[in-house]
Structure 1
Amino acid sequence: MDFASSYLIFLLLVFFSISPCFSDPRSSVAALICSNVTSTASVRQSFINSYLSAMDGITPIVHSKRFAEVIRGTGNATLFSLGQCMDDLSTTDCDLCFAQCKIQIVRCLPFQRATRGGRVFLDGCYLRYDDYNFFDEALSPVARTVCGVTQFGGNQTDFAANRNQTDFAANTNEIMRNLSIEAPKNNGFFAGFVGGGNSTAYGLAQCWDSLNTTSCSMCLENAVSNIGSCLPNEEGRVLNSGCYMRYSTQKFYNDSGSGNASAGGNGHQTLAIILATTSSVLTAAMIIISCVFFWRRKLKRMRKERAQLGALAATVNKSELNFKYETLERATNYFHSSNKLGHGASGTVYKGILPDGKVIAIKRLLFNTRQWVDDFFNEVNLISRVHHKNLVKLLGCSITGPESLLVYEYVPNKSLHQHLFDETNARLLTWDMRYHILVGTAEGLAYLHEESELRIIHRDIKLGNILLDENFMAKIADFGLARLFPEDKTHISTAIAGTRGYMAPEYLVRGKLTEKADVYSFGVLLIEVICGKRINSYPQEPSSILHLVWNLYTSRRLSEAVDPTMEGRFREEDAFRVLHIGLLCTQASPELRPTMSMVVKMLTDESSNLPSPAQPPFLNSNTEIPSVPFEIFRPESNSQSSGNSMTVTLLDPR
């Protein structure tokens, strides 16, 4: 039984229930976030006046409409504010919750040093103010994942003895995915559950009414990717700029979807008694209708996927790309584990030998999801049309067997990641070898961005996707996330996908994708290759290797950042120049980053002048901040944070 069927039966059971469900304002604080301290007294006073006016104006609108956007003040004192209640709260509970919001958010506004930004997440409502128009902002670098304190097998309760950890985790992941799909189609709100008994996972998702459907989906997809970090805790929340998502072992939401009025106990009981006489007929009818509806929807989806696959199959079968499944199966000794070269998010890669003795690499994708069709079509459609010495060549594919297969040229020296972080292999990577690998990678990206007949953004440039041939020449691989960039577009707005640490700040925060996202990723990769360290090599420090290289650059000691395994066998001026180029590629502003063709020129032409880089975004193990790092202040022991709630205050030192 799928989620929709389960949810329908759930609604029927609630609808015919005799016992009324009393509401709850859910006014527990999930997080308080403050930022941007006002610098001057005159601006501070004007901004406080705008704040007070906005708070006066927003309350009656939230009371009547449950959502409000209010702008007050002018010039430097302009303040934007947004408030909303969850859709399942009654009007009374909404008023109570929002009143608590206004009490809590004052903590962001100490009058001796007023902040220009603050937001408070309660479990039933949300309030934010800031000095810029954030109304359509879905994601931000100060998003928070807040996990409950009780875990499976914890000391507080023997949760593992009463619940199946694996089942609960699976149910939680399923309800979160369902919420991210259903909420955008339901005016930004959805609540429900998956499972039964002690392994039931309850969930709620709410997008703020200022977001459109696309932004709501993007926000909730991001929340789903983060909330899994709370498992196996009994409760978890993701608090994004544009949405809220929560799961729990206990039912915490109200059954009323609109929340416009409280349910009266006597009226509800009377209605239930009247409806009880026809419950059997209605239940049977609803089950039949739902089965027909879901069967037709599934049939429609299958027809659509078959049509897409059929079009692809027709194209492949008429081309030289077609391989027989049986041929590839025998080439890998029936995908024996001894031939396995590696495993990634998009599939497993095996070494194979064709009957003519040619060695190949075969990527094996499971044929069981819609995502398979998208990824497979993406790789075949894009890679088969581009050819460059620094790109892994696609030789063909097979879609006739029980699973889909992609056939590539075999690259014998594996990935740059495997060489760089193996002590023995790293010593073999001399300065000249690393330099030529970086130049080759840059040339491959320049071809994708500017020289091929297509304009392609790779989206996942990292050490693991740079393969090395027998001569240690770089080959860019894995185009499963690549996107075709229309010539008439300045950027693409898309769901965020990639690898943490390599994603450009404008893409991570706003989903804004351009070629400059690849440039940023290349800059990170360049610094890793020269320094011999991962981007997050300092988990106990507040910043990343970018911070280290930037500090050494400002003191003109960049050669100290070079991988010590090279034992000084390089020219200091060469190291300074290459790392300088890496800093140019990782500047926070995409407009300041060079194009990949400019990067190639800077790497190969020592006479070309290099501009001074601007400060890169500082990174830490949790998030990526596009400008200045935030200082995190934990609440004291006497704060209002208790139970499964946690208050986090962030102050921008500017």
Structure 2
Amino acid sequence: MPLTPTLVTIQLLSKRCYREDDINFPGGLSIALERSLYALLYRWLLSTNVCPRMLSYMFPSLRVLSQSGFGTSLGVLFLPATWVLYKLIKKKNKIKLKKKFFKKNCGLLLQQLSSTKNNVQNTKLFNSKELEKATDHFSKDRIIGKGGQGTVYKGMWSDGQIIAIKKCNIVDKANLQHFINEIVILSQINHRNVVKLLGCCLETEVPLLIYEFIPNGTLFQYIHEENEGVPLTWAMRLKIAIEIAGALSYLHSAASLPIYHRDIKSTNILLDEKYRAKVADFGTSKMVKIDQTHVTTLVQGTFGYLDPEYFQTGQFTEKSDVYSFGVVLVELLTGETPVSSTRSEEGRSLSTYFILSMKENHLFDILDDCVRKEGDKEDIIIVANLAKKCLHLNGKERPTMGEVAMELQGIQKKDTNGQENYEELHNVRSKEIDPSYACSTSTQSYSEIASSSSSIVLASSSFKSL
């Protein structure tokens, strides 16, 4: 006999009633109503010429209830209501389950933290239905990334907006803490080089975070993996370094409360459609008081990026982020991975390998081909010395991220001014003008260039003295 929707419903309902003493129908209906309903269903099935033995095997509880006298021959009149009844019960149970998940996923805590007293802005809460629709029920085809804390899916709203959804892998106290921590911190940040949190969903078995979609993947992929995207030129690498430094400077000194990222690495730097850097993954970040100099925690981080001072003392400072940034800067310069078994034993760590190469005057031997061919030698040396300062073993000797950003911006500004002056001179020479005017114009242009060149020399000498 083919399974009709009604029969499927009956079968689903009866699965919870295999024993005569086990008639706990979900949804809080009275026992009398439950038994009457089951009896009606059993009698209707008999009227459809279903094999009685088959019925006895599939629905033993229905048979017992029918024989006990609760059924009525008018049951078939009420049968269409069973589907509606089942739907209502299912909906009620689903609401209960969502409330349970919301509480388990620290939803109540988040609501408390969202008060103005705690300086946390309200975070938009999405429902699970719209997220399932956006990701085609979290299809494997929509996975765009996997990490220790979760899986990232690509989704699309009905209006065509593309989003990224991070789904927690394991529901444990530590992971929940990371998720809530990321919500609290990102809700307070508004910076063009920090990934934007759109909201979250806490009514599912595992919590979900919804971000703006960043299409070009991670910085790590562009430096270390073969890809069909645009290769990172020296100018792009310098720009990305400036943007990361600017974002970290904002976190350390311009946010409402100072924030230590605690996991800066090239896999946590995303690139948007214009190859702008976006700092991501704030699961282990810490918000500190304005006068607080460090946080003492269990050592967490990624080997190769971990501040040695933090590793020894367990005290994380803003200079620990500076160290991690230094490693990223060396990655941009050399194209080398933070840890490599192909390098000599003493050079397995990229930071050690880089500092040894600098000490032995082999900097240009370890540079990425793109950097060596396109970069200005003087600029490269300045950036390399800056990276070396960031990697100083003594945190107090490292520059702040604000100082790092200013120094990198100085290089970019110098290059931009030089290019503008060159273009201006080229335009002047290409025009046919009065000789006397040409003389005065050329003199003026050369004076500007000379002035600019003098400032470059002064800047570079000051960089070398640092």
Q: Same fold (TM over 0.5)?
A: yes
Unaligned 5+ segments in structure 1 are 1-301, 614-654
SS at match of 2:345: coil
Cα contact 2:221–2:227 (8 A) shared by 1: no
1:505 partnered with 2:308 = yes
Once the two structures are TM-superposed, the CA of residue 312 in structure 1 deviates from its matched residue by 1.5
Q: Which one has a larger percent helix, Structure 1 or Structure 2?
A: 2
Out of 346, 350, 362, the residue aligned to residue 542 of structure 1 is 346
Cα distance in structure 2, aligned partners of 1:340 and 1:424:
18
Shift of the 311–546 alpha-carbon distance from structure 1 to 2, 3 Å rule, reads: closer
Look up the match of 1:174.
Answer: none
Partner Cα separation in structure 1 for residue 307 and residue 146 of structure 2: 25
The equivalent residue for 1:430 is: 233
Q: What secondary structure is seen at the aligned counterpart in 1 of 2:209?
A: strand
Corresponding residue pairs, total: 311
Read off the aligned partner of 1:542 and give its amino acid letter: E
**TM-superposed deviation, 1:564:** 1.9
Give me the whole-angstrom Cα distance separating, in 1, the residues matched to 2:148 and 2:326: 23
In the superposition, the TM-score normalised over structure 1's length comes to 0.45
User: Are 2:217 and 1:414 aligned?
Assistant: yes
Separation of aligned partners in 2, 1:429 and 1:368: 38
Cα deviation for residue 307 of structure 1 reads 9.8
1:420·1:426 contact (CA, 8 Å) conserved in 2?
A: no
One-letter amino acid of the counterpart of residue 401, structure 2: M
Change (3 A) 1:501 1:587: same
Partners of 1:575 and 1:484 in 2: how far apart? Answer: 34
What's the offset of the Cα at 1:545?
Answer: 3.0
What amino acid is aligned across from residue 302 of structure 2 in structure 1?
T
- Aligned residue identity for 1:602: E
Root-mean-square deviation over aligned CA pairs: 2.5
Tell me: CA distance 1:566–1:427, structure 2 relative to 1, closer, same or farther (3 Å): farther
Residue 547 of structure 1 deviates from its aligned partner by 3.4
Aligned twin of 1:561? 366
SS state at 2:463 partner: coil
**Aligned CA distance change for structure 1 residues 368 and 423 (closer, same or farther; 3 Å):** closer
Q: Does 1:592 align with 2:397?
A: yes
Paired with 1:540 and 1:426, the residues of 2 have a C-alpha distance of 31
**Secondary structure, counterpart of 2:210 in structure 1:** strand
> Could you tell me how far apart the structure 2 residues matched to 1:427 and 1:546 are?
27
Q: Where is the strand percentage greater, Structure 1 or Structure 2?
A: 1
**Bigger relative contact order, structure 1 or 2, given CA contacts below 8 A and separation 6+?**
1
Counterpart check, 1:439 vs 2:242: yes
Greater C-alpha Rg: 2
User: Among 488, 491, 494, which residue is 2:294 paired with?
Assistant: 491
Q: Which amino acid aligns with 1:517?
A: S
SS at match of 1:523: helix
| Selected match of 2:108 from 285, 298, 310 | 310
Q: Displacement of 1:310 after TM fit?
A: 1.7
The 2-side partners of 1:426 and 1:351 are apart by 19
Partner of 1:475: 278
The residue number in structure 2 matching 1:399 is: 202
Q: How does 1:289-438 map to 2 (within 5 A)?
A: 306=104, 308-313=106-111, 319=122, 321-366=124-169, 368-424=171-227, 428-438=231-241
Deviation at 1:360, TM superposition (A): 0.4
Cα shift at 1:458: 0.5
Partner of residue 582 from structure 1, selected from 387, 391, 396:
387
Distance 1:426 1:504, change over 3 A: farther
Q: Please give the alpha-carbon distance, in whole angstroms, between the structure 2 residues aligned to 1:451 and 1:345.
A: 30
2:188 and 2:106 mapped to 1: Cα distance?
A: 19
Q: What is the DSSP-based 3-state SS (H/G/I as helix, E as strand, rest coil) of the residue aligned with 1:517?
A: helix
Asked if the contact 2:123–2:199 (Cα under 8 Å) also holds between the matched residues in 1, the reply is yes
Instruction: Provide closer, same or farther for how the CA distance between residues 507 and 425 of structure 1 changes in structure 2, counting only shifts above 3 A.
Output: farther
Matched, 1:529 2:311: no
CA displacement at 1:522 relative to structure 2: 0.1
Q: Per the alignment, do residues 359 and 526 of structure 1 end up closer, same or farther by CA in structure 2, a change over 3 Å counting?
A: same
Letter paired with 2:356: N
Aligned equivalents of 2:384, 2:378: Cα separation in 1: 10
Residue 546 of structure 1 deviates from its aligned partner by 2.8
Q: CA deviation at 1:566?
A: 4.8
Alpha-carbon distance change, 311 to 427 in structure 1, aligned in 2, over 3 angstroms? closer
Instruction: State the secondary structure of the residue aligned to 1:610.
Output: helix
Q: Match of 1:403, SS? A: coil
Distance 2:400 2:293 in 1: 14
- The percent of aligned pairs where both chains have the same amino acid is 37
The letter for the 2-side match of 1:328 is L
User: Does the 8 A contact of 1:367 with 1:402 survive in 2?
Assistant: no
Retained in 2: the 8 A contact 1:494–1:513? yes
Which letter maps to 1:554?
A: K
* CA deviation after TM superposition for structure 1 residue 554, in Å: 3.2
- Local SS of the residue matching 2:236: helix
SS in 2 for 1:568: helix
Task: Give the counterpart of 2:265 among 438, 446, 462.
Answer: 462
Offset of 1:477 from its aligned partner? Answer: 0.4
TM-score, L = length of structure 2:
0.63
Tell me the alpha carbon deviations over residues 245-268 of structure 1, each in whole angstroms, 9 at most, x when there is no partner.
xxxxxxxxxxxxxxxxxxxxxxxx
Letter of the 1:451 counterpart: A
**d(CA) in 2 for partners of 1:539, 1:548:** 8
CA distance 1:334–1:315, shift in 2 (3 Å): farther
1:601 pairs with 373, 387, 406, which one?
406
Cα separation, partners in 2 of 1:426 and 1:506, compared to 1, 3 Å: farther
Q: Aligned partners of 1:528, 1:427: CA distance in 2, in Å?
A: 17
* CA-to-aligned-CA distance 1:453-479 (integer Å, 9 cap, x gap): 121001100010000000100000000
Could you report, residue by residue, the CA deviation over 1:276-328 in whole angstroms, capped at 9, with x for unpaired residues? xxxxxxxxxxxxxxxxxxxxxxxxxx9xx859542225667994511111111
Pairwise CA distance, 1:550:
2.3
CA contact (8 A) 1:316 1:322 kept: no
- The answer to whether the Cα contact below 8 Å between 1:416 and 1:466 also exists between their aligned partners in 2 is yes
| Amino acid in structure 1 at the alignment position of 2:252 | H
- Does the 8 Å contact 2:144/2:154 carry over to 1? yes
Aligned-partner SS, 1:428: coil
Rounded to whole Å, the distance in 2 between the matches of 1:553 and 1:372 is: 40
Q: Post-superposition shift, 1:488? A: 2.7
Q: CA deviation at 1:372?
A: 2.9
Conserved in 2, the CA contact under 8 Å of 1:313 and 1:399?
A: no
Query: Does residue 610 of the first structure (1) align with residue 408 of the second (2)?
Result: no
Partner of 2:82: none
Q: Which amino acid aligns with 1:360?
A: I
- 3-state SS of 1:362 partner: strand
Q: What is the CA distance between 1:493 and its match in structure 2?
A: 1.0
CA contact (8 A) 2:234 2:370 kept: no
Specify the code of the residue in structure 2 equivalent to 1:503.
Answer: L
